[in-house]
Amino acid sequence: MPEGERTVALVTGASRGIGSATCLALARTGLAVAVGYRSDPEGAEETVAKARADGGTAIAVSIDVRDEVSVDGAFGRVEAELGRVRVLVNNAGYTRDGLAVKYATEQWDATVETNLTGAFLCTRRALPGMLKARWGRIVNVASAAALRGNAGQAAYSASKAGLVGLTKSLAREVGGRGITVNAVCPGFVHTRMTEPQSEESRQRYLEMTPAGRFGTPEEVASVIACLAGPEAGYVNGAVVSVDGGLTA
């Protein structure tokens, strides 16, 4: 990373769950962290308070990844208060399960716009600064659903598979400039996103997961922090499963 410069990270969708845990993991490694939130400023402030209690630097930043103006405004605020974003974690995610045969177009659009277009918009905004610095880390939070598919999750799986494609193409595009672009694919992790899953569906996941348990946000966060770190400079275009063996 650029000599003598404080490394700044922006994590989208970070007021809770995997995003919040990622902010704390990054702050513990010494990064100044912008905690992105869309609708939950209190959650983001809690994450900020925890990071600061650990001795870290953190601020909360409003960012709706579906909205280009919001993305640009959030990056502007981070640049003004912390400095250029050198580490971007595209974590914001959305899902509504439903069978394809009667899935609403609005739900399809919301899913793809959040999970795929949103990651693209943030990445495009982050890249000029990274290219100039000849250093950057982009970690996209995809899903095991990108690799194996799930009945009832056509939109979610397609958007996350698209995110894997985006990861691999960008890794080739900017890999010669000191920038890495990688994806993590979590399996079933206890967060608000998985709360609506039925007991039957949980049981099915458990049976398919060799680890015999669900993952924690912290287990995903530590892999993201590793990929975001200075020592992961030779890891580029990788799709790292964090799923207890679900997709092995």
37 catalytic per annotation = no
Q: Is 186 in the site for ligand NAP (CB under 6 A)?
A: yes
| Calpha distance 25→156 (Å, rounded) | 26
Q: Give the number of other CB atoms < 10 A from CB of residue 222.
A: 15
Cα Rg of the chain (Å, integer): 17
Q: How many amino acids of this chain bind ligand NAP (CB under 6 A)? A: 30
Which helix or strand (DSSP H or E) is residue 53 part of? helix 41-53
Q: Least distance to ligand NAP from the beta carbon of 167, Å? A: 13
Q: Is 141 in the site for ligand NAP (CB under 6 A)?
A: yes
Beta-carbon contacts of 238 under 8 Å, excluding residues fewer than 6 positions away, are: 182, 183, 227
End-to-end CA distance of the chain: 34
Residues 194, 196, 197: CA angle, nearest 5 degrees? 70
Q: Is 75 in the site for ligand NAP (CB under 6 A)?
A: no
Q: Which stretch binds ligand NAP (CB under 6 A): 98-106, 125-133, 190-198, 223-231?
A: 190-198
Report CA-CA distances (Å) from 244 to 20, 50, 72, 142, 223. 21, 28, 36, 15, 13
Q: Least distance to ligand NAP from the beta carbon of 178, Å? A: 26
Q: Which stretch binds ligand NAP (CB under 6 A): 52-60, 170-178, 184-192, 226-234?
A: 184-192
Residues 15-34: x where in contact with ligand NAP by CB under 6 A, - otherwise, as a string: xxxxx---------------
Q: Is 66 in the site for ligand NAP (CB under 6 A)?
A: yes
Binding residues (CB under 6 A) for ligand NAP: these are: 12-13, 15-19, 37-40, 63-66, 91-94, 114, 118, 141, 143, 186, 188-189, 191-194
For the annotated catalytic residues, the residue numbers are 156
